[in-house]
Amino acid sequence: MARLALPTTKANLLQLKEDLELAQEGRQLLDEKREIILRELFSHLEDLRRSRDEAGSALAEAYARLSDACLALGREQVARASLAVPPPAEITSQERSLFGVVLPLLNWEPSGAAPPWGLLGTSLELDLAREKFLAAMRRLVEQAELEIAFRRLAVELRKTQKRVNALQNLLIPQYQETVSYMESGLEERERESLFQLKRVQSRREVPE
């Protein structure tokens, strides 16, 4: 591991030791962050699998009820009834933060509780199809929230792992190598200075 190109001085040694301590503390914090994100990822993965299954089942059921409505009323009548449906309500979004990772909190509620069409020219199958599509929409919003959170956590995990690797495999070993080199160099200087001092003292003590 290449040393840092710094002059061997006591001031630089003290500063390097402080920097090394900070780097080691930073690595420990990043390790903790990585573990927390990993736990969140595994938790989100289980929830995401469940949500995908539920959303798929909800959509399949909704389309099945729509098929029933088309058989009962005919496609043209179902299409005419759909013209009465108002624009879908917007999805609202809030946020929460996990170690600086912004995770979404999505919410969606339909604009009206009752069917937008009258009793004439419609059927129970059409009402059921509407209810199933609303339920599927809720599942899809939940799935979207989990998908976004999972991807953001995965990106942050990669970034955190890169920082841990940089500290553990590059920066900290460089600091440790440089500190060791400086300590050896300063000790050698002290020994030389002590040797020179003893020589001077011994010369002074020699009788003329």
pTM for the model = 0.74
One DSSP character per residue, 176-206 reads HHHHHHHHHHHHHHHHHHHHHHHHHHHHHHS
List the pLDDT tens digit at each of the 208 positions of the chain: 678 888 888 898 999 999 999 999 999 999 999 999 999 999 889 899 999 999 999 999 999 999 999 998 889 888 888 877 777 788 899 999 888 889 999 998 887 667 766 666 678 888 899 899 999 999 999 999 999 999 999 999 999 999 999 999 999 999 999 999 988 888 888 787 777 777 777 766 655 5
Degrees, nearest 5: CA angle 44-45-49: 115
Cβ atoms of residues 143 and 134 within 8 Å: no
**pLDDT value, residue 48:** 92
User: Among candidates 107, 106, 103, which has minimal Cα distance to 40?
Assistant: 103
3-state class of 96 per DSSP? strand
In the chain, the domains with their CATH numbers are: 10-200 (1.10.287.3240)
Joined together, the tokens standing for residue 207 give 């009788």
Q: How far is CA 110 from CA 37, 52, 88, 115, 132, in A?
A: 33, 21, 7, 11, 12
Amino acid identity at 192: E
